[in-house]
Chain A
Amino acid sequence: MTDTLTPGIVAGRLSAKEIAANFADLHAPLDPHEAAVAADRCYFCYDAPCVTACPTDIDIPLFIRQIATGQAEAAGHTIFEQNILGGMCARVCPTEDLCEGACVREMAEGKPVEIGRLQRYATDAVMARQDHPFSRAAATGKRIAVVGAGPAGLSCAHGLARRGHDVVVYEAKAKPGGLNEFGIAAYKSTDDFAQAEVAWLMQIGGIEMRHGCALGRDVALAELEADYDAVFLGIGLGDVNALDVAGATREGVGDAVGFIADLRQAADLTALPVGRNVVVIGGGMTAIDAAVQSKLLGAETVTVAYRRGQDRMGASRYEQDLATSKGVRILCNVSPVAIHGNGAAVEIELEYTREAGTDLTGTGETIRLPADQVFRAIGQTLAPPDGIARAGTKLSVSGPGRTTRDKVWAGGDCTPGDDLTVVAVAEGRDAAADIHAVLMGDAG
């Protein structure tokens, strides 16, 4: 019988019941009384720090007050005005680093108002009826191509459609949602929420979705520029950084992004294989998501190996604590040297590191951990389309997503800024407003 101690990368380490419990909603929805109590804790701050901290500038004190006064749906509308993917952001935002981290009650008592869960309460109230709060403006006759149906593209498409433009979304994958659908831990987006959200968003009308259509492969940028009045690129980061160590190509070594995507798309998680001893290389959200889910699938040991100190990890403290609470070990100041094995990975060899300022040097001391599965989570890079200037590794944009090409805007992870869903939504939203202004002739 397969269990957590079974060697190698195998499926079915846990029973269906255990899997279901492990992958249940991380933050169960608030019931109405819980929401009322949570909402009552908001101080309705002046020039509230939580709003400042929100990349989409949601009027948080207002929506919380609306919940407190028994108007959850109206609260949802307040959120959607600023952030059409407010439902997903309520689930996946690193609120501890954003709104809740800025909440004055965090300063006062180390216990912020539960803004994320309240936002979910309000957005769920609207979406429960699949009621769409917006209607389209009169048709403008303008047509815009949006490349990528991730958070940036969806946000932009909705903003444009709402203003009366016709939008065609080109999406390489067979499903919309981008990282919401493929790149987030399953317990943060249960019950196929990403798809439900897209369906709800599409109710605005005027958005045509074309799947299996990748930029550069199935459609060229020049073609889009010729066929449309404007183009928005929300293409994310296509490439996964390689791991440059001996044995990096051994069987059992893979990228965390692919693992998370497979997990999200798996119809039956008991059929999804996972190693007995899993090591995740990296220190960001993706590393944590891969590590936690490996553990939840039944791996015996899971280690996150990060080359710098814990304070430098990209994953928030909350995510780190979540990981350790699930039994993941976080090993800091270790850098991979080699992956050993005879064909398949058996062990990973890590060298301890020492930081001096930004310099990172190996101490010469190494440690070996059993590892039949190794995930790379050391970042993703842009696979840039031709003909657009770059700023560092990303597309160069000025103002609300204007690229160096006249008719082309961009936003989301492919442009500079934090690679967060909420940032992508803000960028898509702002680009839509700018595209509209330019097309309708009232841009500054």
Chain B
Amino acid sequence: MADLTTNFVGIESPNPFWLASAPPTDKEYNVRRAFEAGWGGVVWKTLGSEGPPVVNVNGPRYGVVYGADRRVLGLNNIELITDRPLEVNLEEMARVKADFPDRALIASIMVPCEEAAWKAILPRVAETGADGIELNFGCPHGMSERGMGSAVGQVPEYIEMVTRWCKTYYDKPVIVKLTPNITDIRKPAAAARNGGADAVSLINTINSITSVDLDRMCPEPTIDGKGSHGGYCGPAVKPIALSMVSEIARAEATRGLPISGIGGVTTWRDAAEYMALGCGNVQVCTAAMTYGFRIVEEMKRGLSAWMDEKGYARTSDFVGMAVPNVTDWQYLNLNYVTKARIDPEACIQCGRCYAACEDTSHQAIAMKPGRVFEVIDAECVACNLCVDVCPVENCISMVELAPGETDPRTGKVVEEAYANWTQHPNNPMAVKAAE
């Protein structure tokens, strides 16, 4: 049996599945249920400064994007940070941590961008026995209008400054949670590292309007006829998050910085993918909000079974293994030539590959009598669109041409040697370099 125990910036947890700071972790009752269900850690719903807590809207907080059969593909929310008094949250955190000493308990914090505010709250959090803190520089709605959340996360200088305050006034791990609502995720990540952050976590939610009510002509979720952008999360955001994670994992300035992966983790496989791209653990929210806490059982069993199958004894055995294979486009091997192959036995004759290729790509699929679909090698650029739209898994595959074979499209013999754009004669920069 694989060992799922993880040590993330010194914080031990029995498995790499943490609940992200969000509605599911807003109070003791939920968090106890989560730990009882087997979650490895919890990032408590974001705490604000002492004093009258924030208030939430009293209408819908969530909007949704559905796939087939009302499957939740994306969720957005306009909920703010905790709307319960700070003292109550701190007392509950202390109780839960005392009862679940083997689980990770992290306090998410969002207070104004003033040193005094951070200096005031950090000792209070430390007293709870929490294992670390996460700085919420990510929420894109509501709090950002007050100069917090993503308003901080979008300014690397503020990130560095606040992180430094935290490292000064708090002696346990500091995780900086990043907003994806920014052009280059490497900049805020580097700022966090410069400020002394022990890790970054990402992504927080994405600015979004899930839909428009066409009768009332207002965005969803709608409050009394008006809507405001919310933060988008769930399976739909995973590709965006994976890319951002990979950027941080391989950039010079941030390489080696521990990452907690967040964004649409729904199954063990999602988690394994994040971890392969360098995340020490993952945080989950939408999946739990959709299916309840019990889904962690599938995640744990699935990850464990896959690790056994692959021979990974512990998560650190595979964390980051895919990072070296993330590269820039310019370094992709232009001598790697593939052609689509349609397995006539598996084909169900829907013709989607044909429509996609004929209408929107390279006219490289022939439709023959009897609805037989065949790839025309002389036209196929190996774009993979047919594979992507085919409803039958493994019906269409991309087959590599061996070195020495001639590509009927280009008439060129496939070369064995790796060659990329930087070396290509069509690239003016390559010619200059050669001169």
A37 touches B68 (CB 8 A): yes
Residue of B nearest to A109 (CB): B348
- B352 in contact with A108 (CB, 8 Å): no
Q: Tell me whether B69 is interfacial, beta carbon within 8 Å.
A: yes
A17-33 residues at the B interface, CB under 8 angstroms:
33
Pick from B68, B69, B350: contact of A104, CB under 8 Å: B350
Task: Please give the distance in Å from B204's CB to the nearest CB on chain A.
Answer: 31
Tell whether A43 is near chain B: CB-to-CB under 8 Å: yes
Neighbouring A residues of B69 by C-beta, 8 Å: 36-37, 40
Report the bound CA distance from A16 to B349 in whole Å: 48
The interface centre, meaning the residue of A40, A44, A107, A108 with most chain B CB atoms within 10 A of its CB, is A108
Are A43 and B391 in contact, CB atoms less than 8 angstroms apart? Answer: yes
B9: interface (CB < 8 Å): no
| A246 cross-chain contacts in B, Cβ below 8 A | none
Please state if B392 and A45 are interface contacts (CB–CB under 8 Å): no
On whether the beta carbons of B68 and A45 are closer than 8 Å, the reply is: no
Q: Which residue of A lies closest to B355 (CB)?
A: A46
For window 333-362 of B, CB contacts with A under 8 Å fall at: 348-352, 354-355
In the complex, residue of chain B having the shortest beta-carbon distance to the beta carbon of A42: B350
Expressed in whole angstroms, the Cα–Cα distance for A387 and B346 within the complex equals 55
The residues of B that contact A107 with a CB separation of less than 8 Å are 348-349
Interface centre among B349, B352, B367, B371, by most A CB within 10 Å? B349
The one of A33, A36, A47 in contact with B351, judged by C-beta atoms closer than 8 angstroms, is A47
> Which range holds the interface residue count of chain A?
10 to 19
Name the residue of chain B whose CB is nearest to the CB of A47. B351
Whole-angstrom distance between the alpha carbons of A40 and B73 in the complex? 15
Q: How far is the CA of A156 from the CA of B95 in the complex (A)?
A: 80
B348 contacts A105, C-beta separation under 8 Å: yes
> In the complex, what's the smallest C-beta–C-beta distance from A60 to chain B, in angstroms?
13
Min CB–CB distance B388 → chain A (angstroms): 14
A379 within 8 A of B: no
Do A108 and B351 form a contact, CB below 8 Å, given A37-B68, A40-B69?
no
* Cβ contacts under 8 Å, A48 to chain B: 351
Within 8 A of A (CB), among B361-397: 367, 371, 391-392
Q: Smallest CB-CB separation from A105: which chain B residue? A: B348
A356 to B214 CA separation, bound complex (whole angstroms): 66
A40 to B70, CA, bound (A): 11
A46:B68 contact, CB within 8 angstroms: no
CA distance A94 to B148 in the complex (A): 64
Choose one: A33, A40, A43; the contact of B350 (CB below 8 Å).
A43
Query: In whole Å, how far is A6's beta carbon from the nearest beta carbon of chain B?
Result: 49
CB of A49 within 8 Å of the partner chain: yes
Determine if B352 and A49 form an interchain contact, defined as CB atoms under 8 angstroms apart: no
How many whole Å from A46's CB to the nearest CB in chain B? 3
Give the distance in Å from the alpha carbon of A45 to the alpha carbon of B354 in the complex.
Answer: 10
Q: How far is the CA of A33 from the CA of B69 in the complex (A)?
A: 8
1/0 contact trace for B47-78 toward A, CB 8 Å?
00000000000000000000011100000000
* CB nearest to A61 among chain B residues: B350
Question: Which residue on B lies nearest to A106, using beta carbons?
Answer: B348
| CB < 8 Å neighbour of A43 from B70, B352, B367, B371 | B352
**A40-B68, A44-B352, A105-B348 known; A49 and B371 CB under 8 Å?**
yes
* Minimal Cβ-Cβ distance residue in B for A41: B68
Contact B355 A108 (CB under 8 A): no
Give every chain B residue within 8 A of A36 (Cβ-Cβ): 69
How far, in angstroms, from A239 to B244 measured CA to CA in the complex? 77
Which of B69, B70, B348, B367: most chain A CB closer than 10 A? B348
Contact B354 A108 (CB under 8 A): no
Bound together, the chains give a CA A17 to CA B268 distance in angstroms of: 52
Q: Which residues of A contact B70 (CB under 8 A)?
A: 33
Report the bound CA distance from A47 to B370 in whole Å: 12
Q: How far is the CA of A44 from the CA of B354 in the complex (A)?
A: 12
By the criterion CB–CB under 8 Å, are B351 and A46 in contact?
Answer: yes
User: Contacts of A108 on B, CB cut-off 8 Å?
Assistant: 348, 391-392
The docked-state distance in angstroms from the alpha carbon of A108 to that of B392 is 8
Cα distance A49–B348 in the bound complex, in angstroms: 11
Chain A residues closer than 8 Å to B354, beta-carbon distance: 46
Residue interface bits A99-112, CB-to-B below 8 A is 1, else 0: 00000110110000
What does the 1/0 interface line of A32-65 toward B look like (CB < 8 Å)? 0100110010011111110000000000000000
Nearest chain A CB to B420 CB, angstrom units? 36
Contact partners of A47 in chain B: CB under 8 A: 351, 367, 371
Candidates A33, A37, A49; contact of B349 at CB < 8 Å: A49
Q: Contact between B348 and A104 (Cβ–Cβ < 8 Å)?
A: yes
Residue of B nearest to A39 (CB): B68
Q: How distant is A42 from chain B, measured CB to nearest CB, in Å?
A: 10
Interface string of B87-129 (1 = CB under 8 A from A): 0000000000000000000000000000000000000000000
The residue on A at minimum CB distance from B391 is: A43
- Measured CB to CB, the closest approach of chain A to B203, in angstroms, equals 29
Complex contacts, B391 vs chain A, CB 8 Å: 43, 108
Interface centre among A47, A48, A105 (most CB of B within 10 A): A47
**Docked CA distance A48–B371 (Å):** 10
Chain B residues with CB under 8 A of A46: 350-352, 354-355, 367
Q: How far is the CB of A272 from chain B (nearest CB, A)?
A: 43
Q: Which residues of B contact A105 (CB under 8 A)?
A: 348
List the A side residues contacting B367 at CB < 8 Å. 46-47
Give bound CA distance, A401 to B340, whole Å.
47
Residues of B within 8 A of A37 (CB): 68-69
Q: Residue of B at shortest CB range from A107?
A: B348
Q: How far is the CB of A346 from chain B (nearest CB, A)?
A: 53
Min distance, Cβ A102 to any Cβ of chain B, angstroms: 10
Near B by CB (< 8 A), chain A positions 91-134 give 104-105, 107-108
Distance from A67 Cβ to chain B, minimum over Cβ atoms (Å)? 13
Rounded to whole Å, the gap between the CB of B400 and the closest CB of chain A is 27
Interface residues of B in 181-214 (CB under 8 A from A): none
How far apart sit A108 and B350, CA to CA, in the bound complex (Å)? 10
Rounded to whole Å, the gap between the CB of A432 and the closest CB of chain B is: 32
User: A33–B352 Cα gap in the complex (Å)?
Assistant: 26
Least CB distance from B384 to A in Å reads 18
CA distance A338 to B392 in the complex (A): 55
Considering the chains assembled together, what is the distance between the CA atoms of A46 and B367 in angstroms?
Answer: 10
20 more contacts with CB within 8 A, not counting A37-B69, A43-B391, A47-B351, are A33-B70, A37-B68, A40-B68, A43-B350, A43-B352, A44-B352, A45-B349, A45-B350, A46-B351, A46-B352, A46-B355, A46-B367, A47-B367, A48-B351, A49-B371, A104-B348, A104-B349, A107-B349, A108-B348, A108-B391
24 contacts across the A-B interface (CB closer than 8 A) = A33-B70, A36-B69, A37-B68, A37-B69, A40-B69, A43-B350, A43-B352, A44-B352, A45-B351, A46-B350, A46-B351, A46-B354, A46-B355, A47-B351, A47-B367, A48-B351, A104-B349, A104-B350, A105-B348, A107-B348, A107-B349, A108-B348, A108-B391, A108-B392
Q: Which residues of B approach A to under 8 Å, CB–CB? A: 68-70, 348-352, 354-355, 367, 371, 391-392
Q: Which 9 A-B pairs have the closest CB atoms?
A: A46-B351, A46-B355, A108-B348, A40-B68, A104-B348, A45-B350, A104-B350, A43-B350, A107-B348
A interface residue numbers (CB < 8 A to B): 33, 36-37, 40, 43-49, 104-105, 107-108
